[in-house]
Amino acid sequence: MTEERISVIEAAKRLGKHRKSLPRILKRLGITPSSERRSEHGGQATAFITLDDFEMLSQYVSDGECCVASENGRDTSSPSPDQGFFYVIQLEPELDPGRFKVGFAVNVPDRLRVFQCAAPFATLIATWPFHRSWEKTAIDSVTPGSENLHTEVFRTFSLDSIIKRCSEFFSLMPDSRKCSRTSQA
Q: How many domains does the chain have?
A: 2
Tell me the average pLDDT of the chain: 80
Residue 19 has pLDDT above 90, yes or no: no
Give percent of the chain with pLDDT exceeding 90: 31
Choose between 160 and 113: higher pLDDT.
Answer: 160
Asked whether the predicted pLDDT for residue 155 surpasses 60, the reply is: yes
58 plus 91 within the same structural domain = no
d(CA 56, CA 133): 30
Task: Give the pLDDT score at 182.
Answer: 36
Both 97 and 162 in one domain: the answer is yes
Burial 112-138 (b: 16+ CB within 10 A, else e): beebeeebeebebbbbbbbbbebbeeb
Identify whether 184 is part of a domain.
no
Q: Are residues 87 and 170 in the same domain?
A: yes
**Same-domain pairing of 105 and 35:** no
User: Does the residue 92 lie in any domain?
Assistant: yes
- Asked if residue 78 is part of any domain, the answer here is no
Give the integer Cα–Cα distance in Å for 80 and 129.
12
89 half-sphere exposure, CB direction, 13 A CA radius: 26
Same domain as 107, residue 51: no
Q: What is the pLDDT of residue 63?
A: 52
> Do 98 and 170 belong to one domain?
yes
- What average pLDDT does the segment 27-50 reach? 83
Is residue 70 one of the residues assigned to a domain? Answer: no
Closest-CA residue to 60 (of 24, 35, 91, 94): 24
The verdict on residue 72 lying in a domain is no
User: Do 51 and 114 belong together in one domain?
Assistant: no
pLDDT number for residue 93: 93
Instruction: Please report the DSSP string for the chain in residue order.
Output: -PPPEEEHHHHHHHHT--GGGHHHHHHHHT---EEEE-GGGTT-EEEEEEHHHHHHHHHHHHTT--S-B-TTSSB-B-SSSSEEEEEEEEEETTTEEEEEEEEEESBHHHHHHHHHHHSTT-EEEEEEEEEGGGHHHHHHHH-TTSEEEETTEEE-S-HHHHHHHHHHHHHHS--GGG--HHHH-
Residue 33 lies in a domain: yes
Question: What pLDDT sits at residue 18?
Answer: 75
Pair 57, 94 in one domain: no
User: Is 121 in the same domain as 169?
Assistant: yes
Domain interval for residue 111: 83-176
Task: Using the predicted structure, report yes or no on whether residue 99 has a pLDDT greater than 60.
Answer: yes
Assign 156 a pLDDT band (cuts: 50, 70, 90). Answer: very high
Q: Pick the last residue of a domain from 62, 94, 111.
A: 62
Q: Is the pLDDT of residue 62 over 70?
A: no
Asked if 50 and 113 sit in the same domain, the reply is no
C-alpha span between 84 and 93 (Å, rounded):
25
Instruction: Answer whether residue 52 is part of any domain.
Output: yes
Query: Given pLDDT bands bounded at 50, 70 and 90, which one contains residue 184?
Result: very low
Highest mean pLDDT: which range of 70-79, 96-105, 130-139: 96-105
Mean pLDDT confidence for 85-112 = 91
68 is a domain residue: no
154 has a pLDDT exceeding 90: yes
- Does residue 66 register a pLDDT over 50? no
